[in-house]
Amino acid sequence: MGVAKLTDQNTVVPAESKYARVERERRYLLQDLPEGLTRADPHLQITDNYLTGTRLRLRKVREPRTNKWMVKLTQKFAPDPNDSSRTIITNIYLNALEAEMLDMFSENEIRKNRYYFEFEGRKFSVDMFLGDLFGLVLAEVSFDTDEELNGYPKPAFAIADVTNLPIFTGGQLCGLTFSDIREAILKDGLIVSRGSAA
């Protein structure tokens, strides 16, 4: 008897899992760090590596002030492909040996500095991207309920809500440059070119 090949048709993914949780969040495009934040403020250094063709990400988070690292393997996906505001996320925290074993997945990389920012009673994660994506700044905010998520207006410091634009997901961003992003947001009318009439 041979070993069965795993396919999407014969692999069961439970509708609910005690290991996974629902994440409700909105993602916003920013011009720069919000007023009150500077690049010198406390932040985390994050390196994400996306495993090609999967819903998996290897994330390494470094706290520069202590030089301590946290490494986790994450599965994150939107059950409804048209609604990225609600995702299912599962994290596995890794020790140094486990992280080293998975270090072979070092391509599809995104590097960013993450700042935390309080605005009108909500805590935002503000990501300033590095490398090929330098110039891109995104902010995310999480919610406990669908009602909070659905009723939340775009904050004053944001240019646009990009939650449901696929180009702003990590799996797509890792293959792009800031020039690609700028071209896409000009094309979509999220920002107006300085040479254009307002």
Query: Are the C-beta atoms of residues 137 and 30 closer than 8 Å to each other?
Result: yes
Give the whole-angstrom CA distance, residue 143 versus residue 23: 8
* Structure token pair of residue 12: 């069961």
Name the strand (E) or helix (H) holding 68: strand 68-77
Residue range 151-179, pLDDT digits in tens = 999 999 999 999 999 899 888 999 999 99
- Return the DSSP state at 172: H
Query: What is the value of pTM for the model shown?
Result: 0.87
Q: Could you tell me the pLDDT band of residue 194, with boundaries at 50, 70 and 90?
A: very low
What does the pLDDT read at residue 65?
A: 93
Residue 142 scores a pLDDT above 90: yes
Domains (ranges, CATH) in the chain? 21-187 (2.40.320.10)
The one-letter amino acid code at 192 reads V
Cα 77–chain centre separation: 11
CB atoms within 10 A of CB 14: 8
What does the pLDDT read at residue 188?
A: 77
